[in-house]
Every structure is written in structure tokens, then in C-alpha cells.
Amino acid sequence: MAVNSKTLGILGGGQLGRMSAMAAERLGITTHIYCPEAGCPASLVAPHFTCAKYEDEQALKEFANAVDVISYEFENIPLKTIEFLQTLKPVYPDSKLLEVSQNRLKEKEFLNSIDIPTAPWAPCRKSDDIKVTLESWKTGQCIIKTARFGYDGKGQVFHRDSDNISDSWSSLNTEEAVIEGIIDFDFEVSIIIARDLQGQMAVYPPVKNEHKNHILDKTFYPAPLPENLQAEAAEMARKIADAVNLVGVLTLELFVTKDGALIANEIAPRTHNSGHWTIDACKVSQFENHVRCVTGLSVGDPAPHSAAEMHNLIGDDIERLETYEKMENAYIHLYGKTEARKGRKMGHVTILKE
């Protein structure tokens, strides 16, 4: 019998790439990491590593020649790189989805075009756009986010009634942004979906996320969501996955409003920090499912076997390791980063519950 012995190329060398490479290894799939940073977390566990810039066509060609299929572990890979690689080898998820998730304006347009609700929004290219939008919304406050390259609360400003509009606009130092109405949410959830080449899907249950300093701090499964909202979140995820012909894993972040509605915030065309708990608490983790789907295997069973809590170890949180080590039900994951800088994700801990 022939056995799947593919080589998977992964662009990006962070912890998401690392945990994907570890999942691939268990399936007998070889990984090849491509990242401009020597010693990056994924390169430390993958058998093959190319250290080169995302713009280096020769290195990209050699990388494509050495692998069967290509994926990426973060969405800020230049679109051109993905488009170039697509001419050489299959790349999943494809450049269309990447393009949508790299630009908040395109992302909102896309979500609304398939009837997925978002916060009220308007494009912003000059400070006057903020004034006009706020007047038409009859409010004095909003969030303004750069259209591209925002993450962990970076590239956004909360504009209050008392703030000067041009100051808020110039603080973003950008040419294109989105103005968003403020959602008075109760809490935030995310939902992860995997879809294979045959179009079969596996949806993980939604989880509740808590942030600290705009960075994910803790994830809780199960989320305190009524069954109808759980089903609605899963339906939204399926709708998006089908609409973009997803191959691989996609994450949808949602606000749960105080009156029990779900509002989409953003999509990530990749595995997600809020899915790390699936390694220890589910039959098939988000990482294994991503690898399965992009390498042509069928999507695996996402069913959780335990309730779980995930705690990120950010910067100095690493000093709390000893406490976690003493906990019988705590599963520690460290990413091989040797320097604990402020805001840097050093590892995470999954605490299994009954």
C-alpha cells in the first residue's frame, strides 16, 4: 500500500509553524520551513529550513522544488510571494483568501457579501472621512484600524468624543483604514474550521477568549454560549469556508453582544492561538487538521475529550512555569525562544478540566 510521504513547505517560522511541523512529524510528513529569521521556533523542530527573504525569487524557487505542497503560518506574507509560489506548487489556503484577510476593508466587504454581520464600518482615507462617518452614525466615538498589518491591538486607535479627529487619524500613520462602530460586547469567542481537498469540514466548538494588553491571554472551552449561538457560529464558519473554497484551517473571531447576537470581527486564514488547547483536549488538533487538509489527507475528528483552559505565557509569565509544573492537569508547551521580551509569546499551558 502506498503511504502519504509528502514534504510540506511552511512559510513563516513562528510557533504556529512549529506546532504544525510537530503535528506533521507524527503523520510521517516531512516539513521544510522558509523564514528570514535564523533560529526561528519552527526551524528548531523541522528537518529542513531555508533562511531567506520572502522576496528572494531564487530561494523561493528552490524551496518550491524541494516540497510537494506549500502553506503559511501567518497572514502578513507578501501576497506576491504566494502568487509566485502558486505558479510552481499548490499553495493552501490560496492567495484569494490571503488577500481578503490581509486587508480589513476587503475582509468586511467579503463577510457582508455572504451575509455575515460585522460592526458598522466605513473606509477611511483622510481625516474628514471620520468626521463624515461619525456625523452620519450620530455618534462621537469609533475604532479606527489600519487596513493592513494590524495585530494584537497594533495599528488601531479608539477615538472618543473628546479626541481631536485629525490627531486620531494621524496617529495611525497610514493611507488606508477602516472606521468601525463600537460593539458593546459581552465577551469574545473564536471558532476554528478545517476543510480538506474533498470539501469535507470539521468545526471545533467555539471558545471564549480573554485578552490582556490587546494580546490573547486565556482561552476557555466550553464557551458559555447557548446552543443556538454555538450552531450559528459553526454555520458562519462553514459558510466562509465554502465561499473561499478553503483548504486548510481558518479561524473566525466573533463578538457576542449583550443581547445575544454574533458579530464577526476578523478572519485568519490559519491556525490560531485560541486553538492551542486542541492539542491536548481534542482527538485531532487544529495543527494536525491543517497538515491533514493541505497534504491531501481527509480532515480528522475535532471532538474534544475534555474541557480545557489555555493560558498564554507572555514575556515574564514564563516565571510562573514552576506553578504550572506542579499542577497535575497542566500540559506545558514552550516555543524554544531564548529571550523573554515584553509581549512575546514564549509558550502556553493547557489545563485539562473534567
Judged by the rule CB under 6 A, the positions of this chain that interact with ligand AMP are 119, 143, 150, 153, 180, 182-183, 188, 211, 214, 265-266
Q: Contact 181/120 with Cβ under 8 angstroms?
A: yes
Are 46 and 33 in contact by the 8 Å Cβ rule? The answer is: yes
The answer to whether 274 and 216 are in contact (CB under 8 A) is yes
Shortest approach of ligand AMP to residue 85 CB, angstroms? 27
Inter-residue contact 240 to 280 (CB < 8 Å): no
Residue 113: CA count within 13 A, CB half-sphere: 10
Which residue number, 119 or 192, has a Cβ lying nearer to ligand AMP? 119
Q: Which is nearer to ligand AMP, 73 or 188 (CB)?
A: 188
CA distances from 149 to 69, 79, 144, 303, 325 (A): 26, 12, 13, 33, 36
Q: Which residues make beta-bridge pairs with 219?
A: 209, 310
**Smaller CB separation from ligand AMP, 34 or 169:** 169
Shortest Å distance, C-beta 104 to ligand AMP = 8
Smallest gap, in angstroms, from Cβ of residue 153 to ligand AMP?
5
Nearer to ligand AMP, 86 or 151 (CB): 151
Strand extents, DSSP E, the chain? 7-11, 30-34, 48-50, 69-72, 121-124, 142-146, 156-159, 177-180, 185-195, 201-203, 207-212, 215-221, 248-257, 262-268, 307-314, 330-334, 345-353
Using alpha carbons, list the distances in angstroms from residue 301 to 195, 202, 205, 304: 12, 7, 12, 9
Task: Rank residues 174 and 265 by Cβ distance to ligand AMP and give the closer one.
Answer: 265
3 state SS for 254-286:
EEEECCCCEEEEEEECCCCHHHCCHHHHECCCH
Rank residues 251 and 265 by Cβ distance to ligand AMP and give the closer one: 265
Q: Name the minimum Å distance from CB 305 to ligand AMP.
A: 29
CA distance 156 to 119: 15
CB of 255: closest distance to ligand AMP in angstroms? 7
**Beta strands at 30-34 and 330-334: parallel, antiparallel or unpaired:** unpaired
In the complex with ligand AMP, the residue whose CB is nearer, 188 or 288, is 188
Residue closer to ligand AMP, measured from CB, 94 or 188: 188
- Output the smallest distance, CB 143 to ligand AMP, in A: 5
Q: Which is nearer to ligand AMP, 272 or 337 (CB)?
A: 272
Q: Could you give the CA distance from residue 191 to residue 323 in angstroms, rounded to a whole number?
A: 29
Q: How far is the CB of 208 from ligand AMP (least distance, A)?
A: 12
CB of 162 to ligand AMP, least distance (A): 18
Other beta carbons within 10 Å of 245: 13
Closest distance to ligand AMP from the beta carbon of 50 (Å)? 30
Neighbours of 179 (CB within 10 A): 23
